[in-house]
Amino acid sequence: MQTYKAPLRDMRFVLHELHDSASLSALNGLEEVSPELIDSILEEAAKVCEEVLAPLNASGDEEGCRLENGVVRTPKGFAEAYRAFRDGGWTAIACDPRYGGQGLPHSVNKAVEEMICSSNLAFGTYPGLAFGAYQAIASHGSEDLKQRFLPKMVDGTWAGTMCLTEAHCGTDLGLLRTRAVPQEDGSYRITGSKIFITGGEHDLTENIIHLVLARLPDAPAGIKGISLFLVPKFLPAADGRPGERNGVVCTAIEHKMGIKASATCQLSFENATGWLVGQKHKGMAAMFTMMNSERLSVGVQGLGLAEASYQGAVAYARERLQGRSLAGAKHPDKPADPIIVHPDVRRMLLTMRAYAEGCRALAGWVARSLDEMERAGDQDARQRAADFTALMTPVVKALFSDLGFEATNLGMQVFGGHGYIRDHGMEQYARDARIAMIYEGTNGVQALDLVGRKLPQHSGRLLRGFFHPVSDFIEANAQHPQFGAMVQGLGKAFGALQLATAHIASKGLGDAEEAGAAASEYLRLFGLVALGFMWARMAVLAAEKLPAANSDAGFYAAKLTTARFYMERVLPQAGGLYAAIKSGKAAMMALDDAAF
């Protein structure tokens, strides 16, 4: 049976102690945000996730969604849970108060997202996609579209989707065929088919607002000829309520490996009425507002599932009696020792813990940059935050989802045979986690984005937001009396990252395949160094806090121990990754296509 308890103490450590949430009040619109307010929000969110969403996770997976006469029915309890979620204001946390939102920081919203993903990822896809659609409309829609659609999306009465993929084109959206024909009243008629549409049809809200990529009759070929359109399921009536049914129909739902309670739909648009969002032929720029938000959220999905799987594995390892400790019986009064005494079980548990807490810290840093990007009073500060967010988006999406899947597999392994059967729910975490490596741009595509676009962009300017603080920290702490060796280990891994960056810049400029061959290893190396930086910072901070910690002494001591494990057992992978990167493309590209 699945259990989940929100890791509020660690979230408070990340938000307040590591990333100084008190200073959020210096940002525009966040003057009233305090650590106390943040804590109250997290505590209430934890109650919703633990008491309302988590109990529906396994049953929702078992039942799944079903399509009945064009209408998708979500599993038992989901509609009631969504009403409670909506009525609690959880759809409006980070939305603009002009449209009924609460105007709270992204850094708080991402922490809430993590809890939702841990407790019930499938449920979380519905409000998650709606928030992404909200962001795209708020950033690029006309004032009329904003006023007509955003208040209902913010209060959760209406949901939203992102309609990109077609059967013949996924990543290569330049091949899409969906058409948009302009009408005299300024609207457009949208015709085409889309697949893999999360939340494309469901019974949780009274309307669904689809954001659809399509081509105008005069559109140039390729990616530069795509426009973005807002296409509602029901056309709003004069009073703002859903009116006439639009020409969009769900023709099928996908039968998936995981997130079965999330409706993944095939949609057919037949002369559906829509309105242009942003400029003609500039749809990808508008859609990337949503896609980048979703990519960060997909990374948080991996983090959330890693945490849930870790909690389940720890509880089982403490209870499951099997064999004796290699150092001699730890519990001679029992027929066997609990498996948590065995080194390999501890290796798995500590790996899961190091991944989850490290990713939570890095997510907090990136989420903080989202707040600064939107709200800093100084334009230069906004630009620096925007550069850092752009750099880290592919890293967070790919690294967190990779590590989330690894963690859920380790969780299954801790359970042994009991992890492979459905009773304990551990295999569901692994099945749910697997999609995060694929959707919103596969992790291989994220790696290509990092090396092909982000590294060379503005002559390498984006790298400064990461390289400079890491370098400064290493220089300031390399001789730390307690953590000098740990910081020097980070310095060694960081040196490998710097050399790998120079190698890719040198080789990749003349041969794109060289950069492509190194991309996945480079992203992993980058991510492991980023987690190493977080762990080194957390170790120094925990050591400073420990002497006066009192009741929190155990928390800070565990933080130090986990930091040591990460630095000694995980971060050394950096050397092997650099060696693979330096080996070049030859072995990868030499085999003839016909020989595969």
Residues with a known catalytic role: 440
Please check whether residue 523 is in contact with residue 450, taking contact to mean a CB–CB distance below 8 angstroms.
yes
End-to-end CA distance of the chain: 43
Q: Which residues contact 353 (CB under 8 A, 6 or more apart)?
A: 310, 562
Strand extents, DSSP E, 107-263: 158-163, 179-182, 188-198, 207-214, 227-232, 234-236, 242-245, 248-253
Return d(Cα 183, Cα 148) in angstroms, integer.
Answer: 19
Nearest to 498 by CA among 468, 536, 473: 468
Instruction: List all residues 6 or more positions away from 331 whose beta carbon is below 8 Å from its beta carbon.
Output: 337, 338
Neighbours of 509 (CB within 10 A): 11
Round to whole Å and give the CA distance between 106 and 378.
Answer: 19
- Asked whether 580 and 502 are in contact (CB, 8 A), the reply is no
Cβ–Cβ < 8 Å for 46, 78: no
Annotate 219-250 with DSSP letters as a single string: PPSSGGG-EEEEEESEEE-TTSSEEEEPSEEE
How does DSSP assign 361-375, residue by residue?
Answer: HHHHHHHHHHHHHHH
Among candidate residues 137, 132, 249, 133, the one with its CA nearest the CA of residue 191: 249
> How do the residues of the chain divide into helix, strand and coil, expressed in percent and rounded to 5?
65, 10, 25
Give residue 448's identity as a one-letter amino acid code.
L
Spatial distance between the Cα atoms of 510 and 130, rounded to a whole number of angstroms: 42
| Paired tokens of 109 | 């919203």
- 525 close to 581: Cβ distance less than 8 angstroms: yes
Cα-based distances in Å from 571 to 20, 371, 580: 26, 29, 16
